[in-house]
Amino acid sequence: MSKTATLNRATGITTVFIISAPSGSGKSTLVCELMKRIPDLYFSVSYTTRPPRGQETDGNEYHFISRAEFERRLANDEFLESAEVFGNYYGTHRSELDRARAARADLVLDIDVQGARQLKGRISEAVSIFILPPSRQVLEERLRARSQDSETVIERRLKEAAEEIRNYSQYDYLLVNREVQASTDTLVSIVRSVRSRRDRMEQQIRPILETFEDGRNKS
Ligand code: 5GP
C-alpha cells in the first residue's frame, strides 16, 4: 500500500484543517478564536529552528530546536511536512496527528503554502483554508500598526505576501479577513460543515438508525 493511502486511512474520523495566510493577515487571532469556539480541535505545535519571539515559550507556540536537531529528525522521517520559510526550518511532527486521533479530535495546522501542498499530497481529504487581507494597502497598514518590524522587514513581508497569495488556487476555501468576528464565524462554519459530512456522521447516526430498525421489528 502506498504511504498516501496509509495516511488517508490512518486519519480515521480526524479531519486535518490546514490554515495558511500571509504574515499580518490576522491568521493567529482567527485560529485562536476558532479554537475557543469549537470543541475537540487540537492545534498542531510545529518544530522550528527560528529563535523564540517575545513571550513565546518552548512547547507552546513551537518546539524550538537547533538546525542540527531538525536535520536529524528530518532524516529520520519524523515530519508529516516541512519547509524552509524566511531562512528557518518549520515542520509538523507525525505525532501531532497521532495525538489528535487518540483524542478523537480534529487537527488544525498553521503552516505555509509549501507545507500545505505537501500535506494535501499525503492526506488528500485534508481541508485547506487560505486567509487573505482585503487588499495590499490594508495588509501594509496592519503590518505598520504592529510596529514590530523595521521598514525593510515590512517591504520584505509585502513581497512575500504577494508570492503566497499567488498560490491561493491550491486551497479548498478562501477567507477574506475584513473583520475578526465575521471571519471567525466563517471559519467556524467551515469546520462545522465538514463535521456534518456523511462520512464523518456515519458512525454517529448508527444508533439513531438502529432505533428505527427496532421500530420496524416491533410493527
Ligand atoms: P512565524 O515564524 O511567523 O511564526 O511563521 C512563519 C511562517 O511559517 C508562517 O507562514 C507559518 O504558517 C509557517 N509555519 C509555521 N509552522 C509551520 C510548519 O510546521 N510547517 C510549515 N510548512 N510552515 C509552518
Q: Quick: pLDDT tens for 138-155.
A: 999 999 988 767 889 899
Asked if the structure places residue 131 within a domain, the reply is: yes
Let me know if residue 67 belongs to a domain: no
What is the average pLDDT across 14-31?
95
- State the average pLDDT for the chain: 92
Q: How far apart are CA 199 and CA 182, in angstroms?
A: 28
Which atom belonging to ligand 1 lies closest to the Cα atom of 44? 19
Q: What average pLDDT does range 44-67 have in this prediction?
A: 96
Q: Cell 447516526: give the residue.
A: 205
CATH number of the domain where residue 189 is located: 3.40.50.300
Q: Which CB contacts under 8 angstroms, 24+ apart, belong to 150-154?
A: none
Structural domain boundaries enclosing 137: 3-43+106-213
Res 13: pLDDT: 84
Share of the chain above pLDDT 90, in %: 81
Q: Is 38 exposed, middle or buried (0-12, 13-18, 19+ CB in 10 A)?
A: middle
- Confirm whether 146 is domain-assigned: yes
- Does residue 72 lie in a domain region? no
Full DSSP string of 51-115: PP-TT--BTTTEEE--HHHHHHHHHTT-EEEEEEETTEEEEEEHHHHHHHHHTT-EEEEE--HHH
Find the 20 Cα to ligand 1 centroid distance in Å: 9
What pLDDT sits at residue 44? 98
Q: Determine the distance separating the centroid of ligand 1 and the alpha carbon of 199, expressed in angstroms.
A: 30
Q: How many domains does the chain have?
A: 1
What pTM does this model have?
0.91
37 lies in some domain: yes
Atom of ligand 1 nearest to the CA of 23: 10
Give the model's pLDDT for residue 218.
66
Q: Is the pLDDT reported for residue 129 higher than 60?
A: yes
Is the residue at 74 inside a domain? no
Share above pLDDT 70 across residues of the chain, in percent, rounded to a whole number: 92
Pocket of ligand 1 (CB under 6 A): 23, 46, 50, 81, 83, 85, 90-92, 110-112, 114-115
